[in-house]
Amino acid sequence: MAADYYKQLLGPLYQGRKWVVISAGAAGATAFAQRILDAGAESVMVVAGTEGTGPQPSGVELFIVGTTGTTIMDGIRAFADAIVSPSREMCAAIASFDPTHQATVLTSYLIPAADLCGRPVYGGARTEWKALEDKIMIDDLWRRSGVVAAPSRIVGSQDVAAVRAVVAEVSTDGGAVVVADNAEGWHGGAEYTRYLAPEADWSEPLAFFAEHAHQVRVMSFLQGVPCAIHGLVTADQVLAFRPVEMLVYRQPESSHFVYAGMDTLWDPPPQVREEMRQVVRDVGALIRDEVGYRGAFGIDGVSTTNGFRPTELNPRLTGGLGLQTQTAGDYPIGDINRAIVAGEPVDLRLNDLERDVVTSADVTRTGRWSRPITHLTVTDTIEQPIGYDGSSWVPTEGDDAAAMMMLGPSPQGALVAVKLTDAHGLPTGESIAPIAASSFALADELWDTRIGPLVVGTSGPV
């Protein structure tokens, strides 16, 4: 079954209507905006935080908010705030685009808005679904779903002595990992997670948690491959897709984790793969029964010698599922997800979707990773084809290119992004984390991005 089936099935939802597409970067909305225009939308407006890295949308109205942030989470929150509390300028631009209030909004699941300047959101997530992303309550959810997870402890972050005692108790030879609660709102990308190495000075990370959290979750450092598994929940079934490697690093001599991206070149052992898919089914069934959950979700964790150990739940459509469905043939997973959430009475042929995406994503491997740059400010995207020669990445052209490396705008000032275009020359089956990290050395050389070395072999909740 081809992805065209879904485009033809769901395309009529867009026909003859005005749409406002919300995207953190305008470049991220380019393909989607064109698809709904091709489906017969009357007109499209894109509201974006920044231009983003990559080709810009054409044939649409474009409003750039101009949000900034010193970190990725800062940028996400600034843009979310701009959508939840829109400026007069934004509402005026939308009114000019849609003076008769006929438009419908398509927004990110990270933004808790039911409408934008009086225009309703289509297929938005419920508040009780977003609450599932609290990293403090997740252990109870694992227990209720019967999933085996690594033990952890919850402790108040203000009592630094108590946190030190719990860390010392939980630590293994590899140390411990600490993650904050949602006192400052949803967080991801490992920004509120710290690695506490044995014999290290924990003063800085513990001070960070005392300032930014009410409680923290402490677990032992898990040796293995950081990874994720994704599912799709409907009223009567839970789909399970294939594992994805999460590219998680650590800065040298630092407690900070660095989340850079993901790939499908890595494979866990067959029994761990099936364990991960069963975890998705069990958790998906639980959240459907408890809070009426519908749509896509992901579970991050670590593939260890003892099996998969989950660390967090992401109750939303995430990049890992998008990576698979795009590689499998450009399946419109965002459209499929919204149709499920909105309860559209259409035949989604979900058993076929699961089989075809998993089979195709197993055959065609890919990956993408990126890092924000704070000391540069760029306004246009620079593209450089690159190849991997077995030991390092080099600029190249034509058939020798394995990836496209880009330098473009971001809320932090700039972004280096790498997207595999042809995985030839890269190993399949094993972790490519060291290879992915080494691509940033080429960015440092070409564009003075100053990313520097990243330590491979770090795991924990992100």
CATH number for position 65 = 3.40.50
The pLDDT value given to residue 407: 97
Handedness of CA 151, 157, 159, 160 (dihedral sign): positive
Residue 116 lies in a domain: yes
Report whether 286 contacts 141 (CB < 8 A).
yes
Q: Give the whole-angstrom CA distance, residue 374 versus residue 47.
A: 23
**Any domain includes 75:** yes
Sheet with 43-50, side-by-side order of all strands: 61-64, 43-50, 18-25, 104-106
Q: Is residue 366 part of a domain?
A: no
Dmax over CA atoms of the chain, in Å, equals 64
Lowest mean pLDDT segment, chosen from 125-129, 145-149, 175-179: 125-129
In a domain, 30, yes or no: yes
Residue range 332-357: average pLDDT?
94
- 72 is a domain residue: yes
Does residue 113 have a pLDDT over 80? no
Q: Is residue 306 part of a domain?
A: no
| Residue 282 neighbours by CB distance under 10 Å | 17
State how many domains the chain has: 1
Q: Is 428 part of any domain? A: no
Confidence check: pLDDT of 458 > 60 = no
> 77 versus 110: which is more confidently predicted?
77
Q: Are 318 and 259 in contact (CB under 8 A)?
A: no
Is the model's pLDDT at 459 over the cut of 50? Answer: no
Cα dihedral sign, 120-123-126-131: negative
Q: Smallest Cα–Cα separation from 403: which of 372, 365, 445? A: 365
Domain membership of residue 53 as a residue range: 4-122
Is residue 60 domain-resident? Answer: yes
